[in-house]
Every structure is written in structure tokens, then in C-alpha cells.
Amino acid sequence: MRDVTAPPRTNALDNAASFDAKADNVFARISQRYDQLCDVFSLGIHRLWKRRIASKIVQSPGAVVFDAASGTGDIPLRIRRLLSRWPHEEKIIVASDICPEMLAIARRRIAGGEPSLTIEEHDAHDLRAVASNSIDIYSISFGMKICRREQVLAEAFRVLKPGGVFFCLEAARITVAPLHALYLAYMDWCLPIIAWVATGGDRSAYNYLLKGVHEFPDQQTFAGELRQAGFESVGFENLTLGIVAIHEGVKPRSL
């Protein structure tokens, strides 16, 4: 993991994709196809990225794991699969999302496994039903770019126990600028065509993805936002040259 020392370059803690879950139920519309779309949009590589964040979560100490914007439950399921492979401390895993249709699929997928997994409907901007200082590990994967970051980070910070760890898997910037430009060109030109076919012409599904990928801050800037939210020991790991990154931060033990 890289050490992060540079100061934040911006104070704009926006919703990169300008998405509002209450105004567009795109995830309800595509819920049945969501898992296949992940494979199509990322050429299957999202599986490696998700495996990596799940393994970081499993290796972090603490019993209570809260995954926000869980969608169809991929991250919680991967955590559970990893835990089942070796002796582990008891973990309680909560999968949460704002979209009941996505959670319905998560519920079907998780049925019957160990350790138990709980499904809860929550807006990541407002976790009022989750007690302050109650979570050991908070994670969010591919949800941050469609949320107001400042609010989500504030809620994550509130619900984490002192010493609790925050993880975020999200779009980032390829560290070699010409390669990033090439990647964006691929996204701009090819993705809409592939996605048009894969979604049956549902533009929202890929418009938000494209806008989020363009507008989400670079790794250093987002790391600065984590520090602004109060996290310490902030760092990130680039995956696939920086197409995505996993950021992490710790809520200080003494506030």
C-alpha cells in the first residue's frame, strides 16, 4: 500500500456521477442482469478487484463488517467464501443497499451459508438505524462514485468504532497519463455500444458509469478527502495499473 502524504487538491466532495437513487431506479431495472453487466463492462476483471478488497477485509481484525451499496451481495459473499477456507475469528457481516430489488437478489444468493449474513436496506448517506461506534470494518465498492462522498464518508466515520477500518473500491486514474486517456477513449466509444446491447438500450446504466469514471477524483485527491473526513493512516492500492483503487483509512482511537 502506498503512503499518502500529499495534501488534498480539492474540497469538492461531490457525487461524481450526478446520480440520485431516489430519482432514477436504474438499479431496480437492471437488477436481474447486474452481475452479467459487471462481467461485460469490466471484461470480467471486476472479479479480481472484488477478491482483493474481500481479502483485505478478511485480514482486518474486528467482528462486525458493514458493506454499503452491496448490490447483489458480491463483496459480502466473497468475504464469506474466504472466511470459510481458514479458521477465523467470528464475523458478523451486514450487506446493505438502498435498492430493494438488488437486495432481493443478494438475499437469494446468500441463503444458507456460514457465517451468517444479514441484509439491511440503508441509504449510505443516512445510516440513522446504525448506532455510532458500532462497526469494525466498513466497506463500499463501486458505490462511492454515485453518492455524495462527503456525506457517505461522514456516516462511515460515525458508525465505525475508534480503530475501525474503512475500505473503498472505486474507479481511479491509471498512473500513466496516455494510458488513462486511451482507457477513457475505450470507455467513451466502445462501452456505449456494448452496453446498449447488453442493457436492451437502458442508457442510464452506462451513462452513470461513464460520468462517474470521468469525474471521480484521482487517488491522491480522494485520499485527501478521507483525511478531511477524519480518517488517519490513509493509503491506497492501485489495481490493474490504477483503473481502480482500494482506499483505506482508520478512525482514530482517540478523538
Ligand X SMILES: C[S@@+](CC[C@H](N)C(=O)[O-])C[C@H]1O[C@@H](n2cnc3c(N)ncnc32)[C@H](O)[C@@H]1O
Q: At a CB cut-off of 8 Å and minimum separation 6, what does 144 contact? A: 16, 69, 152, 168, 170, 216
Whole-number Å distance between alpha carbons of 192 and 195: 5
How far apart are the two ends of the chain, measured CA to CA in Å? 25
User: How near is the Cβ of 244 to ligand X at its closest, in Å?
Assistant: 10
> Any idea what the Cα angle at residue 29 is, between residues 23 and 35, rounded to 5°?
120
Closer Cβ to ligand X, 8 or 202, answer by number? 202
Q: Which of residues 195-214 bind ligand X (CB under 6 A)?
A: none
Q: Which of 94, 146, 243, 245 binds ligand X (CB under 6 A)?
A: 146
Closest approach, Cβ 20 to ligand X, in A, equals 8
Residue whose CB is less far from ligand X, 4 or 169:
169
Rounded least distance, CB 252 to ligand X, Å: 25
By CB under 6 A, residue 27 contacts ligand X: yes
4/130 with CB nearer ligand X: 130
CA dist., res. 253 & res. 247, Å (int): 19
Scan residues 70-109 and list those touching ligand X (CB under 6 A).
70-71, 74-75, 97-99, 102
DSSP state of 123: B
Could you tell me which residues are beta bridge partners of residue 140? Answer: 68, 168
Question: Which residue minimizes CB distance to ligand X?
Answer: 71
Q: How far is the CB of 66 from ligand X (least distance, A)?
A: 12
3-state secondary structure (DSSP) of residue 246: strand
- Cell triple for 91: 464475523
Q: What is the rounded CA–CA span in Å between residue 139 and residue 164?
A: 11
Contacting residue, 4, 124, 130, 168, with ligand X by CB under 6 A: 124
| Number of chain residues interacting with ligand X (CB under 6 A) | 21
Residues of this chain that bind ligand X (CB under 6 A):
21, 27, 38, 68-71, 74-75, 97-99, 102, 123-125, 141-143, 146-147
